Amino acid sequence: MRILHTSDWHLGRQLHRTPLLKEQHAFLEHLLETVRRESVEAVAVAGDVFDRAIPPLDAIDLFNWVLGELADLQVPLVMISGNHDSPRRLGVNARLIERAGIHLRTGVEDCARPAVLNDEHGPVAFYGLPYLEPGLVQAHFRAEKPSHHAVLSAAMDQVRADLAARPGGTRSVVLAHAFVTGADTSESERDITAGGVPSVSASVFAGADYVALGHLHRCQQVSERIRYSGSPLAYSFSEADHPKAMWLIDLDAHSRLTARKLLCPVPRHMRQLTGALNDLLIRPEYLEYEECWLHITLTDHDRPHMAMERLRQRFPHALKLSFSQEQHTNDESYRTRINGRTDHDITLGFLHHVTGAPATGPEQDLLQEGLESVRTEAAAREAS
């Protein structure tokens, strides 16, 4: 079976307040053309379809359009919800549209209910594990503790049990939205830290013939059978040099796997420039950047008057402006200093700053419990 693996569309997302719906539409046109050109037999979308729980109407229209196009092509689609999606909203009418070959898996009750698709070699069971917020699903899975590893392990136990009961030779594909240990992150992913450690071991997915992952925005390979497709567009300047792609996966009759990385079109290059304002405005070596999305850092000693307005006369797609002379005394902006730190680390640092002493063990535990409680309540509100 030939499978096209994609994820993290984030329909409705903006890049520094610049709408990206036109670029997202162009990607979906590319996806449909790939389905036709490569004779794709199933499309797997591993979560974060929308950028927020209540997406704008134009993003919903784009979503409905691509579902209709895939249904017209009679190519099945298997899709899960991610941490940005509202499971209940994304999954509305799921049972009805399944008749058109659109298989949505957004609830914990469906983790072990595969979409079974057939090719000339027999059945392939597609299991959809949506983003599982540990505090909300621990009881359902009877997991030992509210951690990503515990709940995903319990979900995969259900998957393996269901697969074992199916006819011999049934191949399996698992879609999941998670942070797997050893993979590389970007700045544009939302922190999913809960229960202390946000990542899970790749061994959790043992037994699956292919694991189509979502959440991390860099296209990458965790192992031969476990891969992230990444986002189809760059959603932060940290992704400026990341090639955006989808995976074309072939599973033969004996579950042997071949994979091909298919690059996505680049609607507009993303670059970072540093220099003095006048140099950037007049020097010819910057000509190639005039049509790029730009993050510009000015090195002028004093902040120039109307700097962004003047820069946009030459660089109309400049999106972000920084000033190197106004950085923190240790040459790091606040965003830079907290980049890569968990919410727990940040709150511990704030407590230390205010009290002048590091948090005790019980204080660290209380802060962690409070953060998890807030996260769980927020996730419950989005899911409702």
Q: Three-class SS of residue 16?
A: coil
Same domain, 234 and 278: no
Same domain, 106 and 248: yes
Same domain, 259 and 277: no
Same domain, 35 and 114: yes
pLDDT along the chain (384 residues), means of 10: 98 95 98 98 97 96 96 97 94 88 95 96 97 93 91 97 96 96 74 60 96 96 96 94 96 97 96 96 97 96 94 97 68 59 79 69 79 69 60
- As a whole number of Å, the CA-based R_g of the chain is 23
DSSP state string for 150-189: HHHHHHHHHHHHHHHTSPTT-EEEEEEESEETTPPP-TTS
Domain end, chosen from 263, 297, 318, is at 263
Same domain, 72 and 160: yes
Domain end, chosen from 213, 241, 263, is at 263
Which one, of 98, 62, 60, lies nearest residue 79 by Cα? 98
Distance CA 134, CA 194 (A): 7
**Which pLDDT belongs to residue 16?**
93
The amino acid present at 273, given as its one-letter code, is: L
Same domain, 127 and 242: yes
DSSP state string for 289-341: GTTSEEEEEE--SSPPTTHHHHHHHH-TTEEEEEEGGGS-TTS--HHHHHTT-
> Which domain range does residue 347 map to?
335-383
Same domain, 213 and 174: yes
DSSP β-bridge partners for residue 211: 174, 226
Same domain, 341 and 312: no
Same domain, 57 and 139: yes
Domain end, chosen from 209, 244, 263, is at 263
**Which pLDDT belongs to residue 354?**
63
Same domain, 29 and 134: yes
Same domain, 274 and 258: no
DSSP state string for 195-240: SS--EE-GGGGTT-SEEEEES-SS-EEEETTEEE---SS--SGGGT
Number of domains in the chain: 3
**Which pLDDT belongs to residue 347?**
84
Question: Residue for token digits 């950037």?
Answer: 280
The DSSP secondary-structure symbol of 243 reads: P
Same domain, 84 and 119: yes
